Amino acid sequence: MTLSAMPGLPVRKARKARGPVRLVLERLGFLIAAMFGVVTLSFLLVSVTPGDPARLIAGPMASNSQVEAISQELGLDKPIVERYVDYMGGLLRGDLGESYYSKRPVTTEIFEKLPATLELIILAVLFAAVVGIAFGAIAAYFRGRAPDWISRLFTGVFQAIPDFFLGLLLIYVVFFLLGWAPAPAGQIGFTESTPPKVTGFIPIDALIAGDPALAGSALQHLVLPVLTLGLVYAAYFAKTARATLGRALHSQQVFFARAMGLPERTVLRYALVESRTTIVTYAGVIFASLLGGEAIVERVFAWDGLGAWALQGILRLDVPVVQGMVLIAGAITLITYTLLDIVVGLLDPRIKHA
């Protein structure tokens, strides 16, 4: 039993002081190890689960020999170890395999879909941070009074609504009843065509192509999906901001600032600085969890992004697509966490690095 170390609590080894270079190197080392783990696990989970992609692709009417032929073509008849070695070998060359359906390289598809998802996530995190911190700050400042109650009511409700259902509600209210937002049919309207690709971000590309009307339309189409994700995650933000700011408002700096007779605005600023690292960390975590977490919302709004692409891959048992998604999302998440660790660690000298 692992608790054996408990009695008598051995003398703790003094922690070696660690310089920033060592911290960065250690985190990068862990990043590589974790990526290897992520790749292996995703390969295993997706390959070992029962369910036969070849049969699904062949359709219900196919004979056994047809299924076998497809299985051979996709390399599914090879033993799992060989497939794993093939996959890892391909990975080292930057090759994630081909989609079973479109027959195009998974990497190409990922880079095509990534901008649409990134613009959604980044805007949603920004919205969530601004609204959430504002609500959380108000709740913390007026703790136990009416504004706190109202803010907590909103957070409670928005935390309980599944994001895809909130998206549908917004479609009903803002599009059907009010007619303020365009139809939920993707990044641009039915009759409009995508601008020539430069950055991959449609509003920016439209501006580059000299078509402000199209850029405007693209921005309008962003409103509802961003609002959907933003509101749900603003609730999480508010909860965290309330807790951290509440603690910060009772910190010694704040008491001291008040005792000095500093204006309330300055005091609040001190409290915000005090809780800065927690909130930055939280933004990073939310950014990471949105990647993949927003897939269903993309589907609701017919958004042609990474999430919807991965969902389609899942529903069609398109194994390379699913693996590609898990890999790219895992990679971006791990990189985000590592950056956060390093940034927060370097910014805040009080944090010890375990």
Q: Is 89 in the site for another protein (CB under 8 A)?
A: no
Q: CB of residue 3 vs another protein: minimum separation in angstroms?
A: 5
Q: Is 334 in the site for another protein (CB under 8 A)?
A: yes
In the bound state with another protein, the residue whose beta carbon lies nearer, of 30 and 142, is: 30
Q: Is 333 in the site for another protein (CB under 8 A)?
A: yes
In the bound state with another protein, the residue whose beta carbon lies nearer, of 209 and 331, is: 331
Which residues lie closer than 8 Å to 60 by C-beta, 6 or more apart? none
Q: Assess contact for 142 and 246: CB atoms under 8 A.
A: no
Q: Is 45 in the site for another protein (CB under 8 A)?
A: yes
Q: CB of residue 100 vs another protein: minimum separation in angstroms?
A: 13
Q: CB of residue 262 vs another protein: minimum separation in angstroms?
A: 32
Q: Tell me which stretch binds another protein (CB under 8 A): 116-124, 134-142, 272-280, 316-324.
A: 316-324
Q: Is 218 in the site for another protein (CB under 8 A)?
A: no
Q: Is 292 in the site for another protein (CB under 8 A)?
A: yes
Q: Is 8 in the site for another protein (CB under 8 A)?
A: yes
Q: Is 252 in the site for another protein (CB under 8 A)?
A: no
Tokens 């009772």 identify what position? Answer: 250
Cα–Cα distances (Å) from 284 to 92, 157, 288, in that order, read 28, 23, 6
Q: Assess contact for 128 and 204: CB atoms under 8 A.
A: no
In the bound state with another protein, the residue whose beta carbon lies nearer, of 272 and 314, is: 314
Site string for another protein, 156-195 (x = CB under 8 A): xx-xxxx-xx--xx-xx--xx------xx-----------
Q: What residues between 131 and 150 interact with another protein by CB under 8 A?
A: none
Q: Is 302 in the site for another protein (CB under 8 A)?
A: no
SS3 per-residue string spanning the chain:
CHHHHCCCCCCCCCCCCCCHHHHHHHHHHHHHHHHHHHHHHHHHHHHHCCCCHHHHHHCCCCCHHHHHHHHHHCCCCCCHHHHHHHHHHHHHCCCCCECCCCCCEHHHHHHHHHHHHHHHHHHHHHHHHHHHHHHHHHHHHCCCCHHHHHHHHHHHHHHHCCHHHHHHHHHHHHHHHCCCCCCCCCCCCCCCCCCCCCCCCHHHHHHHCCCHHHHHHHHHHHHHHHHHHHHHHHHHHHHHHHHHHHHHCCCHHHHHHHHCCCCHHHHHHHHHHHCHHHHHHHHHHHHHHHHHHCHHHHHHCCCCCHHHHHHHHHHCCCHHHHHHHHHHHHHHHHHHHHHHHHHHHHHCCCCCCC
Q: Is 121 in the site for another protein (CB under 8 A)?
A: no
Q: Is 83 in the site for another protein (CB under 8 A)?
A: no
271, 286, 300, 340: which one binds another protein (CB under 8 A): 300
Q: CB of residue 130 vs another protein: minimum separation in angstroms?
A: 24
Q: Is 295 in the site for another protein (CB under 8 A)?
A: yes
* Long-range contact pairs involving 188-193 (C-beta distance under 8 Å, separation at least 24): 188/214, 188/217, 188/218, 188/221, 189/217, 189/221, 192/217
In the bound state with another protein, the residue whose beta carbon lies nearer, of 176 and 256, is: 176
317, 320, 340, 345: which one binds another protein (CB under 8 A): 317
Q: Is 34 in the site for another protein (CB under 8 A)?
A: yes
In the bound state with another protein, the residue whose beta carbon lies nearer, of 34 and 91, is: 34
233, 237, 287, 337: which one binds another protein (CB under 8 A): 337
Contacting residues toward another protein, per CB under 8 A:
1-8, 30, 34, 37-38, 41-42, 45-46, 49-51, 156-157, 159-162, 164-165, 168-169, 171-172, 175-176, 183-184, 288-289, 291-293, 295-296, 299-300, 310-311, 314-315, 317, 319, 322, 325-326, 329-330, 333-334, 337, 354
